[in-house]
Structure 1
Amino acid sequence: MFEQFTAGARVAVDSAHEEARLRGDRRIGTEHLLLGVLDVPDSVAVPALGVDLATTRAALDVLDRAALAAIGIDVEGVERPPIPVSRKRTPFTSGARSVIKRTVTEARGAGSRRIGPDHLLLAILACERPDPAAELMAHLNVDPAAVRASVKRLSGTGGQAA
């Protein structure tokens, strides 16, 4: 399936992999895919979402710390070391696998044979709470329906990627 991804979509997935590694996570989740989409140069993601990569990373840190505090773990001053680079690819969570599969539907719905970062973003927008990307977007006050309309308007092709 990744052979159908445009260069931008591949950048998003590679960035998601790097975000997971830097955060010390052993699997790529929907939240990492969202961060990855925000890292694609000239993507419609930042103007459509109304948030940038740094703001989204900071919000994810806040959510992670709050979740740990809820179970009695104080992580103030504790930093997770990055996962060492390994030869094998980091696996996707089941939610992230579902997002990757939904990108095909988004691309086909836009009349495209190639999957771009905007299709990936549209697939992420379909995530519902308690999915990590949905929680993150809710924390950032992102309205998925408004972003979906904005992505389609900004891409000028109903969500089709170049």
Structure 2
Amino acid sequence: MNIKLNEEARKAMTSAHSRAFKMQAEELGAEHILLGVLAHPSAPLVEVFDNMGVKPATLCQEIMSNLPSGSAEGVKKDLPYAKNAKEVFQAAAKVSESAGVAEIGPEHLMLGILNVEKNLAYRILKTVSGDRNGEMKTQLDSYIGKIQKRRAMMRLFNDLASTVIINAREEAEKNNSEHIEPMHILMAIINHPGSVPMAALLRLKVDLKTLKAQVTRAVKEFSGKKEKSEGLSFSDETKKVMDGAVEASESMKHKYIGPEHFLLGIMGVEGSKAAMTLKETGLRDVGDLKEEILMVLAAQR
């Protein structure tokens, strides 16, 4: 089958093949794909399972109890795909294509299983989740929708927003950080003193000198966690910052996303180290910040 899988999905399918082989299966079915996905779940799946209280170990046990197992002696390693497995792949490909994703991930494979109802994997999911397959599908669709929205958002970045993200990535790489954190973005914003967000902070009498010192120290807390920093991605908190930036831009009726929207997004992630640092240095209310940003922008027109 000519299907492109991302690294996580490739690991899942390798595991699926291994399980099917060990269980003396004559062909690889949707239930083996589910076992592989459970062995290598992506972040969306982990989040959805946690939200729904579904335990992957329980799912695995239920699948194993419904399938014969034994020695793989005499069974071909290159197992053909069962009809339901092909249908799962086709459904997963449609989901990833509609989301504008070039490669299928474990979350797309799971949606493929949920979209192809007539298979053992679907029935086991239904049993273990308490007949909540529809809810699981809705949550996964929502997660993928957010990813689509973030991709669309990046096309709306103005020049300075793009520069800030590049600088944040460089800061994370310099410190061998595991992910790009809100603190890296805040540091990048601070390093552009003439920008709209910095002008707004100045108007709000935020202690910029103390802010920079605290952020500089805090950034180092994320250092040394990754030996190689190629392909750095946003942390979960940074994804929330990006979602907040989109909402801020939309609420202000702007047709672009700038670093000022990033700053509003950071303040919206309560409990994050970056938001707490801003509050500690004098920024108390996100509403006040929004008003000052609008005033700075109006003065620039």
Q: What letter corresponds to residue 135 of structure 1 in structure 2? A: R
Q: CA deviation at 1:123?
A: 0.7
Q: Is the 8 A contact 1:103 1:115 kept in 2?
A: yes
What does 1:84-95 align with in structure 2 at a 5 Å threshold? 84=73, 88-95=77-84
| Aligned with 2:64 (options 54, 61, 65) | 61
CA offset digits 1:11-62 (Å, max 9, x no partner): 1111111121233322111111111111115442243244343211211234
Q: Bigger radius of gyration, 1 or 2?
A: 2
Say which of 123, 126, 139 aligns to 2:127.
139
Q: Structure 1 residues 85 and 152, CA, compared in 2 at 3 Å: closer, same or farther? A: farther
Show CA shifts across 1:72-128 (max 9, x none). Answer: xxxxxxx83231487741111100011111121011111112211111111111121
- Change beyond 3 A, Cα 1:19–1:46: farther
Please tell me whether the aligned partners of residues 38 and 60 of structure 2 are also in contact (alpha carbons under 8 angstroms). no
Tell me what 1:12 maps to.
12
Q: Structure 1 residues 132 and 110, CA, compared in 2 at 3 Å: closer, same or farther?
A: same
Over 3 Å counting, the alpha-carbon distance change for 1:85 and 1:121 in structure 2 is farther
- Higher RCO, 1 vs 2 (CA within 8 Å, ≥6 residues apart): 1
- 1:1-162 mapped onto 2 (5 Å cutoff): 1-2=2-3, 4-49=4-49, 50-64=53-67, 80-84=69-73, 88-129=77-118, 131-140=119-128, 141-155=130-144, 156-157=146-147
Given residue 20 of structure 1, which amino acid in structure 2 is its aligned partner? A
Q: For the Cα contact (< 8 Å) 1:43–1:117, is it kept in 2? A: no
- Structure 1 gap segments, 5+ residues each: 65-78
Between the two proteins, what is the percent identity of the paired residues?
26
- Tell me the SS of whatever aligns to 1:90: coil
SS in 2 for 1:107: helix
The count of aligned residue pairs is 144
Quote the Cα distance in structure 1 between the aligned partners of 2:111 and 2:105: 10
Q: Distance in 2 between matches of 1:60 and 1:146?
A: 21
For 1:26 and 1:56, the matched residues in 2 are separated by 22
SS at match of 1:44: helix
For structure 2, the 5+ residue unaligned runs are 151-232, 234-301
- Could you say which structure has the higher helix fraction? 2
User: Aligned partner of 2:121: which letter?
Assistant: A
TM-score, structure 1 normalization: 0.74
AA in 1 matched with 2:24 = G
Question: How far apart are the structure 1 equivalents of 2:143 and 2:74?
Answer: 36
